[in-house]
A = this chain, B = another copy of it.
């Protein structure tokens, strides 16, 4: 692969710093690397491949000479800067939700729909991390037996809310761990200053709220799981009902999914299909207490799937999956898209 010039926008955030780590791990063919961030973080020096590189402020100039820009910013920053980079001739791989559902923007998971990348016009979107956890095992099963209905509940780690989410959990644990009685009684609010990332305390808690609510009572995260799954699978008719829930874990998201299929499929067939699916590891031997957990997926590149069972309807399967939200759910997938662009000459 010919080396290319890469910018990482939002390089000091939870996902951005993971992107840098992964570019180094995978020996991505870099001609140059330019980390960018807001003015607050500009000037910081980051270690990369034995060197130190300086973070520059995100600006039009920062995209000069860049071939690929990997964006790991909030939606509003992506809406501001992705078009700037695009107009400068940079191919943007964007991890925000801002462009994912646009008709002229491919939404790509390289193991599932790599060919979609070819149609890009300067922007390729990287999907939501919870959706990826569901999609990695769902896509191969859908190809085999056509999914018609998906009911999914998530178990999402605090790092999905960025560095602030992780800080909230650790700060709250420090205050609450010695207060066993207060935790037992649910009387913890008085002990805590308001968190930065979550409306309610997350330590020792389960919060069925990720993203923002719409008028129908669904959250933006739940809509993403539905709409992005439909788009990547090219299956707009699949019924998808998701409930997205934050739990006090640091890394990896979990999904308990129940899927009704058009065709016949049983757990043994599903395990065979998933065993050969790229990016998926089958961890499904309950007798030896082997099944996916959040810690199993933490820091790893694959999606783990197990607890594969039939029930609930004819041609239905349940499974439990975990996937590192910062790696395959975010940073790794963007780097894989960048690799795809280089390999297939799509720049």
Q: Are A204 and B155 in contact (CB under 8 A)?
A: no
| Those of A103-152 within 8 Å (CB) of chain B | 149, 151
Q: Are A184 and B247 in contact (CB under 8 A)?
A: no
Which one of A29-37, A77-85, A250-258 contacts B?
A: A250-258
Chain B residues contacting A293 (CB-CB under 8 Å) are 200, 205-208
The distance in angstroms between the C-alpha atoms of A151 and B188, with both chains bound, is: 32
Specify the chain B residue showing the minimal Cβ separation from A317: B241
Specify the chain B residue showing the minimal Cβ separation from A291: B208
Q: Are A217 and B183 in contact (CB under 8 A)?
A: no
Which one of A2-10, A59-67, A307-315, A337-345 contacts B?
A: A307-315
Q: Are A307 and B149 in contact (CB under 8 A)?
A: no
Q: How far is the CB of A74 from chain B (nearest CB, A)?
A: 20
Q: Are B149 and A241 in contact (CB under 8 A)?
A: no
Q: Are B298 and A241 in contact (CB under 8 A)?
A: no
Q: Is A89 an interface residue (CB 8 A)?
A: no
- Option from B250, B254, B299 in Cβ contact (under 8 Å) with A204: B250
The distance in angstroms between the C-alpha atoms of A30 and B299, with both chains bound, is: 56
Chain B residues contacting A155 (CB-CB under 8 Å) are 155, 206, 245, 247
Which one of A46-54, A173-181, A229-237 contacts B?
A: A173-181
Q: Is A239 an interface residue (CB 8 A)?
A: yes
- A206-B247 in contact given A239-B313, A267-B217 (Cβ < 8 Å): yes
**How many copies of this chain sit in the oligomeric assembly?**
2
- A183-B298 in contact given A208-B320, A241-B318 (Cβ < 8 Å): yes
- Option from B256, B258, B299 in Cβ contact (under 8 Å) with A245: B256
Q: Is A322 an interface residue (CB 8 A)?
A: yes
Q: Are B218 and A186 in contact (CB under 8 A)?
A: no
The distance in angstroms between the C-alpha atoms of A311 and B239, with both chains bound, is: 8
Chain B residues contacting A243 (CB-CB under 8 Å) are 153, 256, 258, 307, 318, 320
In which size bucket is the chain A interface? Answer: 35 or more
Q: How far is the CB of A304 from chain B (nearest CB, A)?
A: 11
- A184-B245 in contact given A293-B207, A293-B208, A295-B200 (Cβ < 8 Å): no
- A247-B250 in contact given A153-B256, A217-B308, A258-B151 (Cβ < 8 Å): no
Q: Is A249 an interface residue (CB 8 A)?
A: yes
Interface residues, chain A, CB within 8 Å of chain B?
A: 149, 151, 153, 155, 159, 170, 173-174, 177, 180, 183-188, 199-201, 204-209, 213, 216-219, 239-241, 243, 245, 247-252, 254, 256, 258, 267, 284, 286-287, 289, 291-300, 306-313, 316, 318, 320, 322
With A170-B177, A208-B254, A241-B318 known, 14 other A-B pairs at CB within 8 A are: A149-B312, A153-B256, A170-B180, A185-B298, A186-B252, A206-B294, A206-B322, A208-B256, A208-B293, A208-B307, A208-B320, A213-B286, A241-B258, A241-B311
Could you write out 10 A-B pairs with CB less than 8 Å apart? A151-B312, A155-B245, A183-B298, A184-B299, A186-B299, A204-B295, A208-B307, A217-B286, A217-B308, A248-B248
